Amino acid sequence: MKDNFVVTIAGGGSTYTPGIVMMLLENMSRFPLREIRLYDNHHQRQKTIGDACAILVAERFPQVKFSYTTDPQAAFTDVDFVMAHIRVGLYEMREKDEKIPLKYGVPGQETCGPGGIAYGMRSIAGVLELVDYMQQYAPGAWMLNYSNPAAIVAEATVACGPTRASSTSAICRWLSRVCSPTSSACRRAKR
């Protein structure tokens, strides 16, 4: 096992990113880090959140290198893990995903219903772009995806082929496999 890791947080301009950075720093004894990189394709959001996170890292663990960028090569080269929590279309599209179906009497939100499907269709391309960057710049890296809708995104990345998505992990997909009636773990639990 490595002594310390390099992690890229994709969707680094999100207001949820400081919480992820804090979680990583609070678990340094269990998951030691050499470097944290933030990546986002929206420069201003990335700068605002990146500047705030730079202060957090410098105050708590100054030995951890920290950077933020909109350049995929700088973000993904030689990373060990990519934590993906992207929101394609930002909150403007989330609002449409939720309100348009309601106009027709159909409930739903970002993980289910027509809005979830629409969001999933947008998210798939964004996550596959991240997978491509990983293949190009860090082929041994693992992706921990929690971009919603996680189940739709996980299925799509796996459907693109084992080479492209073999290092993508999604909790929803893993649980669906473990809890499947045909899984050995589920059969053992029923005994």
Q: How far apart are CA 117 and CA 140, in angstroms?
A: 30
Amino acid, res. 150: A
Contacts for 48 with CB less than 8 Å, ≥ 6 apart: 13
Q: Is 4 annotated as a binding residue?
A: no
Helix (H) or strand (E) segment spanning residue 124: helix 113-137
Give a three-class secondary structure readout of 94-114: HHHHHHHHHHCCCCCECCEHH
148 among annotated binding-site residues = yes
| Residue whose C-alpha is closest to residue 17's, from 70, 76, 86 | 86
How many angstroms separate the CA atoms of 157 and 155, rounded? 6
168-170/142-145 β-pairing: parallel
Instruction: Please count the other Cβ atoms lying within 10 Å of the Cβ belonging to residue 169.
Output: 15
Residue ranges at the known binding site: 94, 148
Residue ranges for the binding site for substrate? 94, 148
